[in-house]
Amino acid sequence: MDHDDIERLAAELHKKGSSWSPFQVAASTSLVLYFAWAGSLALGLRKVYLQVPYVPSSVKQVRNMMSLLQGRSGKLVDLGSGDGRIVLEAYKQGFRPTVGYELNPWLLQLSNFRAWRAGCYGKVFFRREDLWKADLSDCNNVTVFLAPSLVPLLERKLLSELPDGACVVAARFPFLNWSPTSIAGDSLETAWAYNITAVRQAGRQMPS
């Protein structure tokens, strides 16, 4: 390939490059978008942002969850804390410390803002941590409101990590293999409370 050949090739390529049809442009753009999407799946973001939509609890739902925790105190953890409303309400009810796990940075900012407005900034904690990696071995009171597809995974994690005596309150999506100790509210705002000790005993009597 001599110099002339290269110049001819360059001219050829240049002609081709300038004559891309709108279809080709669209095709290559969607290819880029596709790879960006595939990349986000590889990073596990799908689990966080697609599988669990951010749906804040209603006022009634928060009240139902809190009524099931009445009389308890100590540490409370909200798994997937959203804008922090459960954590703030639990703090007002006397739980210390109160901790929310959340991965969405915007929701974390909002949570801290809401805490500041409520006068408890620095007293409630929002952690930018994956709830699946959180160590729950010292949590006695846990609230969750995630998605039905995660219930089996969550059952396994809670059963293996929570200390005896812990109470789990689930909103909207009950744990299918556990029997609740009490239930509050109805329809979409239902909350279920589980006594982890009782759940473990039932599991030992009837291994699945």
Ligand X SMILES: *[C@@H]1O[C@H](CO)[C@@H](O)[C@H](O)[C@H]1NC(C)=O
Ligand Y SMILES: C[S@@+](CC[C@H](N)C(=O)[O-])C[C@H]1O[C@@H](n2cnc3c(N)ncnc32)[C@H](O)[C@@H]1O
Residues that bind ligand X (CB under 6 A): 181, 195, 197-198, 201
Partner interacting with residue 189 (select from ligand X, ligand Y, none; CB below 5-8 Å by kind): none
d(CA 208, CA 202): 10
Helix (H) or strand (E) segment spanning residue 130: none
Q: Name the CA radius of gyration of the chain, rounded.
A: 25
CA-based nearest residue to 156, from 178, 181, 182: 178
CB 102 within 8 A of CB 108: yes
Distance CA 181, CA 196 (A): 10
Q: Which does 103 bind (CB under 5 to 8 A by kind): ligand Y, ligand X, none?
A: ligand Y
Nearer to ligand X, 58 or 197 (CB): 197
Q: How far is the CB of 84 from ligand X (least distance, A)?
A: 26
- Please choose which of ligand X, ligand Y, none residue 195 contacts, taking the beta carbon within 5 to 8 angstroms, the exact cut-off set by kind: ligand X
Least distance in Å: CB of 28 to ligand Y?
32
Give me the least distance between CB of 159 and ligand Y, in Å please.
18
63's tokens: 């009240």
Q: Which is nearer to ligand Y, 110 or 203 (CB)?
A: 110
Query: CA end-to-end span of the chain, whole Å?
Result: 73
Does position 64 interact with ligand Y (CB under 6 A)? The reply is no
> Site for ligand Y (CB under 6 A): which residue of 77, 115, 139, 146?
146
Determine if 86 is a binding residue for ligand Y (CB under 6 A): yes
Using CB distances below 5 to 8 A depending on partner kind, what does residue 138 bind out of ligand Y, ligand X, none? none
Cβ(95)–Cβ(73) under 8 Å? Answer: yes
Binder among 132, 173, 174, 203 for ligand Y (CB under 6 A): 132
Stretches 10-18, 66-74, 101-109, 152-160: which one binds ligand Y (CB under 6 A)?
101-109
Tokens representing 184 are 């509050």
Instruction: Return d(Cα 195, Cα 95) in angstroms, integer.
Output: 18
